[in-house]
Structures are given as C-alpha cells and as structure tokens.
Structure 1
Amino acid sequence: MSGQGDVIDGRFELLERLGSGGMGTVWRARDTVLHREVAIKEVRPAGPELTAEQSRVLRERVLREARALARLNHPHVVTIHQILDTPASPHPWLVMELLPGRTLQDLLEEGTLTPREAARIGRELLSALRVAHAAGILHRDIKPANVLLRERSPQDAGGTPSVVLTDFGIASLSGSTQLTATGDLIGSPEYIAPERIRGTGEGPAGDLWSLGLVLYVAVEGVSPLRRGTSLATLAAVLDSPVPPPVRSGPLAPVLGALLVRDPALRPDADRLDAMLAAVADGTTWQPTAISQRPATAVGAPSTPVGPISTPVGAPDATMGQPAATVDPPPAEPRRRTPVIVAAVAVAFALVAGAALVLALRGGAGTGGDEDKAGKRPGPTTPPASPDAPPASGTWIAQLFSEPVGSGEAARDRRLAAVRKDVPEAAYVRSDDYASLRPGFWVIYAPGPFADGRAALRFCAERGKTSGDTCVGRYLSSSGGDYGLQCKPPVSAPVGRCTRA
C-alpha cells in the first residue's frame, strides 16, 4: 500500500490522499521533473487478494480508462497525461490533471441545486458525453461522485461550478472486448440504465438515463431508485415507479423525457441540449409540432419494454395512473444535510416520457362528423390525426396514453376500446405541447371543459372515477404548466384543477 511521501516511477511524489473507493485511491502528487502538481490514480481494489484472472481484467480496465481519456480532448472531460506501468506495482497508475478534490456529490451534501443550476451542469455533462459518444465511447458509470468541480471565474454568470466528467474505468469502447464474464454487471446500481440490466442492448441513451438520474438527485435531494441492497436497487431500476419530481419546476419535463425505460423514447443529444438550454436560460422549452421523435438508441428495441407508468399526471400504458401534482416548493438553501437519502417508494415508473392532452372532437358517436374517406368512423375505426393541433390553453379529460414507439396499430386498438365507453374520444400526439411529456399518443375526451373539475365530472358520469381511468389535464405551450393535473375523486380533487 502506497503512502504519503512515496515516489512513484522515480518522479511523482505522493502529497495527499484525495479520495478512495472500491477501485483504489486518487492522490495529489508533485511531478518532480516538470515541477507541477498532478492527480494520480492508484488502482488497488478493496477486498481480498485478486486471482491472476481478476488482476488481468482489472489491469485491462485501467488501460481502457487511459485509452478512453486519451482519445478525448474536451474541457468537461478530465485530461490524462500518461500511464505508469512499473515493476514495483502490480497495477498501472494513471497520471491526470489535478482538479479540486471536490465532487458534485460533495456539493449536493450541502443542499440541492436550483433547476437552472442543474440544467447548466447537465448541459456541460451532455457536451462531454456527446464527444465521448462520437468517439465510440460509452461512459456507463455517470454519478455525482464521478463529476469533479472546477470553480468558474467570478465574471461567469450563474456561479455554479463548472464540471468535469471522470472515471471512465468501465467505459465501453467500440471494438473492445468484454472484460467480464457474461452476466456480470459493473457500475453503480441506482444509476444503471434498465436496458443494461436486461441485456437488451446498449447505446448512448443509457448514459442519458444516468444523466437524468444525476439531475433528479441534484434538484430533488433523493436518489429515487436506491434501495437497501444492490439486488433490490437493480430490481427497482427495472420495475419500480419513480417518484414524480416536486422541486424541479421547469426541469421536470426534462427528467420525464430522460427517465423513460424504453431507450428509443428518450430524446437524442440535440433535443436534450435544447431542453436543458431553455431551463438554464430561465425560459420554457418549446417543442416543435413535428420531427420531435427521439432517435432510437444503438441496439435498443423500437417498442417499450415492460409496463409503462408515469409520474404525476403523465400518461402510462395502462391509462397513465396520473397521480396528483404538488406545486414545487421554493428551492432549498444550502445546508449541511445529506442530499442522497433512502429512496422513496412511490408510483411512477417512467417509460412514460410524455403526456399530451389535447382538445379535439373526432370519432364515432359525435353526430355528423365524417372521416376523409366520407365514412362515419365506427367504434373500431379511429379518426385520422388532426390536421392542426388544438390551441394552447385547453382542458381535456385524459383517458389513456400509448407510447409512440408502440406504433399506430396499438394506438388505434386502444382508441377503439376507449370509445366503447366514450364514443367522442380522440387522440393527439404529446410532442405538440410543452406542458406534456413527449413521446405519447394521448387518448382523451375533448369537452370543452372549463377546468379540471369539469373534466372529472364528465368522467364520473361515465363511471371513470379513479386516477387510472381519468385525469383532467391542461394543454399549453408552456412547460411551466406541466403541474396542471386534476385527479379524482370528484368531490375533493387532488392536484391543480385551475390555472389561476
């Protein structure tokens, strides 16, 4: 075991231990040749002595981190200077740029970030990931402890420290061989993307899921999928509802878009950057009416995996289970309380990255309406999608939602089933409204409704009296209206039922 004062490779004097983890220790060191301070990562795994095969795997993992970092030149990716492979040490050492020993994890232990601060950090991490992904590198272990902080200059607006992504030790390079036996899983369980656990394919979208969780923790102050054991945490990542964010304000739609269990429904990097930029600038992200469908992740299935449920008021595949929305409380001041606490087990599972609810009449039973072929649509013939989306500022009764990735046939089957009880039901795509989560066909009753309570009364008259069967939703071009969700019972609605 190395100690303070030791000289590595006859050149690097160890000055101070900066931090330790399961894979070793990072030291502040002095380069006695160039007369500068650097960071050196000593790879020494905790636990019992490694077998020869385990040592080989670990050595290759360290070398892979070095190669990954050496291929990247970006202000938000830690810079590697060289790799030391000395006979005196059974494992290589990495010599890197020295950054303050403070991490995003340390910052969050002082209190949560505001949505704007988190969005700025998110954009910087995203810029690092875009460079890595373009080089064929997947990070696969994005978490607050792997995000180092670099203080901004005083004139830089915002004041939030700039971030540097580090610890590419388990990164996946294009063309590299697997380092672990089939079925082995490396990474931090609570931040691992569901598709990695399922083994259904990996791609850049997996890193974006992890980024979404980092932003959730940064603003909400809880790690939503952490459980008491690693196995329980992995199970929660696969199936447990994710608690709806209550402090995230304008960042909530971004979290909803990222924390979708089907990687094909997550936004691509360009769209995500636009969403984060709007939040960071203090404005509202405005989606376009078309061409907003997320790109399919490399190796990802084109349809959702498993059941879909949603956060407060967003639709899911079984109707949406839209729980009541709570107005975000004021941002917390910095305080010396741990930010990451035991995860909350509440309903939300997020392959539901979108919730669009629109006011549109169309369909059988409305009296006199005809489809474009001149035939009155019957209960099994869904209407055509509207030529123009309904205007902003409309309340509707959300009855069901179907992921866009499920295909139009699935949407039409669901619409036909809903029309058995509500003949005037129609559908619209959620991407057209900033107040809803993108990526869904939303099946709804158009009203018109004066407010969310009126929508609930309409549903109650038809026997739909639970949050699994009806929710009043507000259509708006403003992401700040996402919280306008009105959930049964009619006698005492839960959530926000009016815009005033």
Structure 2
Amino acid sequence: MSSGSPTSGVGRIIAGRYLLLNPLGSGGMGHVWLAHDERLDCAVALKEIVFRDAVEADHEREARVARARAEARHAAGLRGHPHVVTVHDVLEHEGLPWIVMEYVADAVDLRDLVDSRGPLAPAECARIGLAVLDALTAGHQRGVMHRDVKPANILLAPDRAGSPYGRVLLTDYGISVQPDAGETRYTLASVLVGTSGYLAPERATGGAPTPAADLFSLGCTLYHAVEGMGAFERESHLAEVTAVVMEEPRPAVRAGALGPVLQALLAKDPGQRWSAAEAEAALSRIVTPQAEPYVRTQTDLGSQPPWAGVQVPPPGPPPNGHRPRTEGEPPFVLPPPPPQGGRRRRERSHALRAVLACGLGLLLALGGVWYAMADRSSDGGGGQQGSRQPYGETVGLTKPLRDGDCVIADWPGSERFRGTPRLRLDPTCGTALDGQVMAFVTTSSADEARRAGAAGCEERTREIRDRLADVRSQAVVPTDGGFAAAGRRTACLVLGGNGPVYGPIGTHRRLGSGFADTATMQRRDCLDVRTNRDARLVSCEGSHDEQVLGFTRLDPDVTLSEARTESDTACARDVPPGDYGFDPSVYTAGSWTSAGPWKNGTHFVVCTVRRQNGGTMEGDES
C-alpha cells in the first residue's frame, strides 16, 4: 500500500501512541516525522517507509523492510553514544515498519548550515570531524560500517550550555552493514550504495565496505564544510562517481590547517589513507592549537610579574592510572634552555650582545614599573593573591588543578551547582570524592576563559558524562591574576549530580579495582563478578561476567530492598540486551543497585547483560 505524500499524514496516530505532527525531512528510505508520544508525553522522530508505487512495493517491499529493521538494529547497538542519534524502537503499523528515534530539537544538518551560512572555519570543521569520527569508530568497533557519511547525515544542535551548534550527531544508518556478520545486504545490484561524490573509490568500483571507506567519506564531508562545495562535485551523479575514481579532489583554498587532513583522508589507495587514530590526533591539534604545552616564548616570560614562575600544563597522567599532586608539590615550570657550546658563544658578535643587553635592560625596567604599579590587593583577582590562589579566594586552591585531581566540593548554599564551590583536593581519591578533573580548556586570556570556559568544559567532558548515570560538568575558571599560574587553562570537573561519585571515574580507574558504588560504573564497562556485592572492573578484551549497557530509574517510592528484587525486570524492560545486538536466547538482563542513589534520591539502577547459563562472556561478544 502507498504511504502517500509527505504532508498527507499529519494527524495520523501510529501504533496507537504516536501522533504525527509535521514532516522533518525526506530521504531514499522515506519520510521523517516529528511526532508526539502520547504514552510518555514527549516528542520523538519517526521514520516512515515510503513506496513510490505499487509495482515498486511488490518488488522491493521485503528488501526495504529488512533494511529498516537493520537500521534500527545497528543504530540501537550504539544507543547512548553522545554523537549518534538514539533509536528507541522499531514497530509495525499497517504491515510496514516505523523507526522511533530521538527527536533532536532545533537541529540543522551540516549541508543546510553550509548552504545558509557559507563555509565553516577550519577549527569548527575539525571539531565536527572529531565528533563524527568518534561515532564512526564506535560503530567500527562493533563491525558496523555507516556507508553513507555526508553533510546531510550530520546534525548540529544546541548543547546544554546553549551553544547553537555545540552538539554533533551522526544519523541514518539505513544502509549500514556488518561485513563479517553474514547478514544479507539489502541493495539492488544495479544501484550504488551510498551518495555519489562521497563514496570511496574502492566502494564505487565494487569493493567491500571497510572503516577506511567511511573515513574517505568523512574527508569528503569535511571538505564540503570548509570549502562550501564537494571535492568531486560535478554536473551529474555519474560524473561525480567517475571523478571519485579517476580524478584528484579540487585543491582546497580555505582549509588552512585542515588541508593536510583532507589530503590524507582523500587518498585513493585505502592502504595509504589515514587511520582513525591518525585523523583524531591531527583534528585534535587543530581544535586545540595550544596543545603543545611546553612551548613558551621570551615575550611570555617577560610579561609575567617578577614573583610568578612560568606555569605550564602537566605532561598527563602516569601510566596505569592517576597520581594526584599534593599541596606541597611544586608547580611545573618551564625547563631552562640547554647549554650552548663554547665555540658558538664565542662566535656571537658584540653587536648582538649589545642588542640583547639593551633588550634585557628594557624588559627589566618595564617589569619594575609593572611591579610598582600592579594591584597587589588580596581580592583574588590580581597580584600576589591571584598567584597564590589561581582560581580566586572563593575556590581557595593554592595550586593549579591537574588532570585526574580528585576534589571535594563545598557549595555556598544547600543547593548543588548554585554558585561557586570551595574545593579541596582529596589525594586518596576515596569514597567521599565529589568529582575529578577530566579535561582542560586553554584560552588566550582570562576574559576569554570567563566567556568560553563553561561551554568548553561541557563539550570536553560530554563523552564521559554520557557514560555515567548521574554527573554534571563544572568549570573552574582562573582569575585575572591567577590566569598564568593556572597554566592559562580552565579546569573541567565532572562532579556527582546529586551526591558523591565514590571514587575515581573514567580512565582514572584501574583495571581490577572494585566498585564502592554504582556511581562509578559507566556504559560498556566489563565486570568480573565475585559475589552479588563485589564486582571488579576488567578489560572487555578478555573473559568477563557482565557488561554495563545503560541505566534506568525506579519510582521514588521504591525502597532499596525492593529495588534489589525489581531491578532485573526494570532493566529487561528499559534496557533490553537485544537492542544492543545480544541474542535473547543466549543473554539476559542483569542489574546492580547500591545505597548511594537511594540516599540522594535519584534511584538509578545500572543495567547489564550476562549469559543466561551463568557462564563467562568473551572479548569478541562485547
């Protein structure tokens, strides 16, 4: 049967609960609708299968229905990823499937954004590229190739900090495939799978889908974003496919630092193309150009007050975990330049020495004037106090924060996240821990840090926050006087949303460590279960008993003892393992509860997957 035009369905109710409000867009698979879920009273997006005519329906119905189910299965396997549009359900209505997806409010796709605003800046393209690359890598780790990466399949939406395009989401897994899964490929032999101008050369000539092919398409997408047109854009689809296979991309004229990345991703030979790790490293350097923390110029040194050491960011956490810096530990300082050979010193001209001496004298004189005139009050915003307390008197810390530092936060009132907390370091990272430093935002000035620090921290900590059940981001912004002492960086904390996090989080946890509370369990964690009260974090590459899939919440009136009997059922209903690719005949839902979420009133439960027979799971099952 025909589904009609994209506007004829307004007001229809699908599967007894989804009221169609208005069309959001159309594609090769059908129409996407904004709908109201009358059962949960929320907005969702529905993808509708559309057949152009009855003849097509007779010949293609089975293949296209199967493709819709495959899209739902593949995308559901990535549920919870911060850069993938979540698929909630696939349902049948009047004999055809509909896919229920997350509705991303105020979203615009990258193609429309470039059409309306013009080409984007290289750094903005690199930020978008990092997010899409993260989504693709998550799919590739599950064996799922996207096969249709293009600007129209990348959504940009406001993030929680209000940045209008801060959230980046990859959508439309409608033609994705798992090459090693033995599944049927629902395509016509005479039709290229993908979009001309964005297909990798090896795919255009009939090769198998691979991660490298998705990376080529990502390169084409970033080229379009920064140049305003396709790298292989031609007058016809056939000409575009021919150009992809036979011709080099148009020389980029606006790409700047992004140019080498585009060149490496658009290599014709997939063996010569950059890997995901290489692309991620290069894009990260563009997004954060001051990532080389030890680079300092003599101008920077001369601009410091006489009492301030030159602060630089720490070199990163030591292997196998976090070593917090104690209050007595000296800050990092720029190492002195290496000594020069005697012959080279003798060869310096008298004129050069005179120029240097004059310059040094001038710098010292200016420094003396600056010192005499500087405001050395104790307000935490300048002078000696700013140097002693980089984040101000309210925060109270006397040393700059470092990656992985564990903190206890005392809020000025009774409500968390209202106002500026006073922070104390917890060198033990113990069970009273409120949160941890998970990222930094480097800026050129203290004023820029105040303007952009919070939004930057939201973006930098998004991935870890989306993996945990109940956390929030908090930016610790340096003062004017403490900006240099803080290493020119805003520290990004991840704090428990309603209470402590009970120990290290994210990559600062050690394999083999036990969980003091479910607050530190995160999506995709693999667990070695000793008893029903003792679970240890282990590598997912080896043998394990359970894997964390997500979280659900129980009603406020459910007690902790009741939760321990009801949580498995709740997880099977709300986070079914089948949605993540686990065979329901082999696997079942599990759950973990702890006192913490009941003390703070959140009542969240950690949902896992385990074998029905109680056996262990192996690395290739996760």
The TM-score with structure 1 as length reference comes to 0.54
Corresponding position: 1:7 with 2:13: yes
The 3-state SS of whatever aligns with 2:197 is helix
Task: Give yes or no for contact 1:68–1:171 (8 Å, CA) kept in 2.
Answer: yes
Q: How many residues align?
A: 282
Residue 134 (structure 2) aligned to one of 104, 127, 130: 127
The 3-state SS of whatever aligns with 1:99 is coil
Q: Partner amino acid for 1:265?
A: Q
Residue 215 of structure 2: aligned partner: 208
Task: Give yes or no for contact 1:84–1:93 (8 Å, CA) kept in 2.
Answer: yes
Residue 42 (structure 1) aligned to one of 20, 45, 48: 48
Q: Structure 2: how far apart are the matches of 1:160 and 1:277?
A: 18
Q: Partner amino acid for 2:26?
A: S
In the TM superposition, residue 48 of structure 1 has moved relative to its aligned partner by 6.6
Task: Give yes or no for contact 1:80–1:97 (8 Å, CA) kept in 2.
Answer: yes
In the TM superposition, residue 223 of structure 1 has moved relative to its aligned partner by 1.0
Residue 253 of structure 1: aligned partner: 260
The 3-state SS of whatever aligns with 2:159 is coil
Residue 23 of structure 1: aligned partner: 29
Between structure 1 and structure 2, the one with the greater Rg is: 2
Residue 334 of structure 1: aligned partner: none
Residue 352 of structure 1: aligned partner: none
The 3-state SS of whatever aligns with 2:47 is strand
Q: Structure 2: how far apart are the matches of 1:246 and 1:83?
A: 44
- What does residue range 436-447 of structure 1 map to in structure 2 within 5 Å? none
In the TM superposition, residue 51 of structure 1 has moved relative to its aligned partner by 4.3
Corresponding position: 1:99 with 2:108: no
Residue 171 of structure 1: aligned partner: 176
Q: Structure 2: how far apart are the matches of 1:152 and 1:168?
A: 23
Q: Partner amino acid for 1:22?
A: G
Task: Give yes or no for contact 2:34–2:103 (8 Å, CA) kept in 1.
Answer: yes
The TM-score with structure 2 as length reference comes to 0.44
Task: Give yes or no for contact 1:250–1:284 (8 Å, CA) kept in 2.
Answer: no
Task: Give yes or no for contact 1:152–1:162 (8 Å, CA) kept in 2.
Answer: yes
Q: Structure 2: how far apart are the matches of 1:48 and 1:224?
A: 38
In the TM superposition, residue 215 of structure 1 has moved relative to its aligned partner by 0.4
- Cα 1:169–1:155, aligned 2, differ >3 Å: closer, same or farther? closer
Corresponding position: 1:242 with 2:237: no
Residue 228 (structure 1) aligned to one of 235, 260, 268: 235
In the TM superposition, residue 81 of structure 1 has moved relative to its aligned partner by 0.8
Task: Give yes or no for contact 2:29–2:174 (8 Å, CA) kept in 1.
Answer: no
**Percent identity for Structure 1 against Structure 2:** 42
Q: Structure 2: how far apart are the matches of 1:198 and 1:61?
A: 22
Q: Partner amino acid for 2:221?
A: V
Corresponding position: 1:85 with 2:92: yes
- Cα 1:147–1:47, aligned 2, differ >3 Å: closer, same or farther? farther
- What does residue range 31-430 of structure 1 map to in structure 2 within 5 Å? 31-46=37-52, 49-73=55-79, 74-86=81-93, 88=94, 90-100=95-105, 101-109=107-115, 110-154=117-161, 160-173=165-178, 174-175=180-181, 176-182=183-189, 184-283=191-290
Task: Give yes or no for contact 1:112–1:221 (8 Å, CA) kept in 2.
Answer: yes
In the TM superposition, residue 184 of structure 1 has moved relative to its aligned partner by 3.4
Task: Give yes or no for contact 2:147–2:209 (8 Å, CA) kept in 1.
Answer: no
Q: CA RMSD in A?
A: 2.0
Task: Give yes or no for contact 1:279–1:285 (8 Å, CA) kept in 2.
Answer: no
In the TM superposition, residue 199 of structure 1 has moved relative to its aligned partner by 1.9
The 3-state SS of whatever aligns with 1:81 is strand
Q: Partner amino acid for 2:173?
A: F
Q: Structure 2: how far apart are the matches of 1:187 and 1:256?
A: 21
In the TM superposition, residue 137 of structure 1 has moved relative to its aligned partner by 0.3
Q: Partner amino acid for 1:204?
A: P
Q: Structure 1: how far apart are the matches of 2:28 and 2:185?
A: 20
In the TM superposition, residue 149 of structure 1 has moved relative to its aligned partner by 1.5
Q: Structure 1: how far apart are the matches of 2:286 and 2:54?
A: 47
Q: Structure 2: how far apart are the matches of 1:121 and 1:152?
A: 13
Task: Give yes or no for contact 2:51–2:57 (8 Å, CA) kept in 1.
Answer: no
Residue 313 of structure 2: aligned partner: none
In the TM superposition, residue 153 of structure 1 has moved relative to its aligned partner by 3.5
In the TM superposition, residue 183 of structure 1 has moved relative to its aligned partner by 5.1
Q: Structure 1: how far apart are the matches of 2:118 and 2:85?
A: 25
Q: Structure 2: how far apart are the matches of 1:284 and 1:260?
A: 27
Task: Give yes or no for contact 2:92–2:98 (8 Å, CA) kept in 1.
Answer: yes
Q: Structure 2: how far apart are the matches of 1:63 and 1:177?
A: 12
The 3-state SS of whatever aligns with 1:214 is helix
Q: Structure 2: how far apart are the matches of 1:108 and 1:49?
A: 38
Q: Structure 2: how far apart are the matches of 1:163 and 1:227?
A: 28
In the TM superposition, residue 53 of structure 1 has moved relative to its aligned partner by 3.4
Q: Deviations over 1:99-148 (max 9, x none)?
A: 13421112111211100000000000000000000011000001111111
The 3-state SS of whatever aligns with 2:263 is helix
- Cα 1:50–1:240, aligned 2, differ >3 Å: closer, same or farther? same
Q: Partner amino acid for 1:68?
A: H
In the TM superposition, residue 186 of structure 1 has moved relative to its aligned partner by 1.7
Task: Give yes or no for contact 1:28–1:38 (8 Å, CA) kept in 2.
Answer: yes
The 3-state SS of whatever aligns with 1:263 is coil
The 3-state SS of whatever aligns with 2:43 is strand
Q: Deviations over 1:283-316 (max 9, x none)?
A: 5899xxxxxxxxxxxxxxxxxxxxxxxxxxxxxx
In the TM superposition, residue 154 of structure 1 has moved relative to its aligned partner by 3.4
- Cα 1:285–1:273, aligned 2, differ >3 Å: closer, same or farther? farther
In the TM superposition, residue 45 of structure 1 has moved relative to its aligned partner by 4.1
Q: Partner amino acid for 2:109?
A: T
Whose helix fraction is larger, Structure 1's or Structure 2's?
Answer: 2
- Cα 1:160–1:37, aligned 2, differ >3 Å: closer, same or farther? closer
Q: Structure 1: how far apart are the matches of 2:63 and 2:123?
A: 41
Q: Deviations over 1:207-248 (max 9, x none)?
A: 000000110000011112122222111111111221111101
Residue 337 of structure 1: aligned partner: none
Task: Give yes or no for contact 2:156–2:165 (8 Å, CA) kept in 1.
Answer: no
Q: Structure 2: how far apart are the matches of 1:155 and 1:178?
A: 41
- Cα 1:29–1:51, aligned 2, differ >3 Å: closer, same or farther? closer
Q: Partner amino acid for 2:236?
A: T
Q: Structure 1: how far apart are the matches of 2:52 and 2:196?
A: 18
In the TM superposition, residue 3 of structure 1 has moved relative to its aligned partner by 1.2
Runs of 4+ in 1 over 3 A off after TM superposition: 45-49, 153-156, 181-184, 283-286
